Chains A and B, each alone.
Chain A
């Protein structure tokens, strides 16, 4: 733990004076922009290992970086791509991915098209959840933006249409996004990681993702409200050890969603140095495993209320309360192995998280964050929600306090 903390502090002090500037250069008379970011975190928990890290001993396995390149091809056409890589405990494992790669053609302010791999617009922060330098908090409210299962909503290979309408009579602006595409999960994410506890090893997971977002910049200065809807038709393939024949070795495994929908409602109010956010999300996922030997139904609800205030040029303070509940049911021949869990008052079916944070901006593009989490509950062990049996072999305790540090740079 001490070694990780010292490494983090050293990195912070080394990076601060080395903050790079954005790189712009020209090729064949065309300006190319290059931007990037990197961050290094450290987490210590008093009980329970969190986010697949061995946090009860202190863990610095919390690193990510990304680089993007883009250019304006014509007045209305822009192309670009970003590569992202991370290591979060047993997730990510330094397997880089194309975060987004798209062509964006804007016909009119009220109508544009993005095609390629596009970040999914869902709520206030889904598309920016990896961009630590944009946020006051190290970890966004995990009830809405679980970092261990970020793939579940992150991006799609497909097409978005978007635009903005200015309403008459001073009623503000309406911004819309509608999209359809294919979601393809990393095999180093929380969902596939959790499945290994049941000896299920995915070789592919993903499927159709479509939905939309509508947000209203109201006439009240600084107030934005919106709603998002996302539907998915997902499936996974791999191998597993059948409970019917445990000694028979690995056999093919397949699952398919029967229903997968997310509704999200949100509001943001910002006034000078103050920002208040609140979001509510309900996620419903019904699954059929191996043609129905197990049917699962999952109902996840989350909400949070957060506030941040920049008390000085180099210091911002923030706090949020995040509430996550999960209810599950099952059917089919193997249902007895997975009894229904519907009492969300139990620690095994919820995570309530009180958070305080401080962000110190060392220079314009370098920062250090210090954050405290005071959690009750560990969520359901059949669905990824931060606490995994694989790194908690002796079981869970109901309360977890966490100290989170993070530093990063961007250019």
Chain B
């Protein structure tokens, strides 16, 4: 059966937007001057909406945005609860009333990373598969977080070929239990497409975290981009 690309994109979009709003599948990268190892979703929101210019532990921060793309859209929707137009309006209001500066924005993960690496206090977001060499990756810890664990080895999920051909994508949210040694003991799908969920579970079970004194529970989200 032949589907036009427009129709497939439309179906993919509908499925994507019909998914529940979950934590985003992005990596938060920071300049090495930032001493924190983790950041909460609420703190991410405050920093990227220019409501605060320092993290709770005191490091000065400067948010860096991507201009477009799936990672950008997921980040805006899930962390900032905005879309591109509303974000533009939001910062326009701040900049033209003297309440904030216009944040830096770049076209690609590589450009974001390059700016983060060279700029004191810079903090940005990139796709999970992008390189982070030279920058610090901040763990996203839920509010009142039970996890301070740092991800050491990450295995990307396989994209089911049938869904890719149909341009079906979206996000999958998993709750995982991490052993003191850093192994993922359990992974439970909390939301998302069930087929993508199976693939996500298989990948996450191969992840390895830094060792800790006890067992941890965390919620992670993975994005599947058919393009």
Contact = CB atoms under 8 A, between A and B. Distances in A.
B96 interface: yes
Interface in B92-111: 92-93, 95-102
A114 B98 contact: yes
Given A78-B101, A109-B52, A68 B121 contact: no
Contact of A75 (B60, B81, B85, B101): B60
B102 A164 contact: no
A197 interface: no
Contact of B81 (A66, A133, A222): A222
A109 B51 contact: yes
Interface of A is mostly: strand
B46 interface: yes
A127 B86 contact: no
B96 A66 contact: yes
B53 A22 contact: no
B213 interface: no
B89 interface: yes
A22 B96 CA distance: 12
Contacts of B164: none
A83 to B, nearest CB: 12
Contacts of A66: 96
Interface string A166-177: 100010000000
B102 A22 contact: yes
A107 to B, nearest CB: 10
A254 B222 CA distance: 69
A349 B110 CA distance: 61
Contacts of A273: 83
A310 B82 CA distance: 13
A68 B42 contact: no
A104 interface: yes
A22 B101 CA distance: 12
Interface in A66-97: 66, 68, 70, 72, 75-76, 78, 80-82
Contacts of B93: 127-128, 131, 134
B92 A134 contact: yes
Contacts of B97: 100, 119, 127-128, 131
A35 interface: yes
B19 to A, nearest CB: 13
Contact of B98 (A109, A119, A272, A310): A119
B53 A75 contact: yes
B92 A131 contact: yes
A177 to B, nearest CB: 10
Contacts of A388: none
B54 to A, nearest CB: 8
Interface string A153-184: 00000000000101000100000000000000
A270 interface: yes
Interface of A: 22, 33, 35, 37, 66, 68, 70, 72, 75-76, 78, 80-82, 100-102, 104, 106, 109, 114, 118-119, 127-128, 131, 133-134, 164, 166, 170, 221-222, 270, 272-273, 310, 364, 410
Given A75-B121, A128-B96, A310-B85, 5 more contacts: A33-B102, A68-B95, A100-B98, A118-B98, A164-B52
Per CB-CB distance, the 8 closest pairs between chain A and chain B, nearest first, are: A109-B52, A75-B60, A100-B98, A119-B97, A127-B97, A128-B93, A134-B92, A131-B96
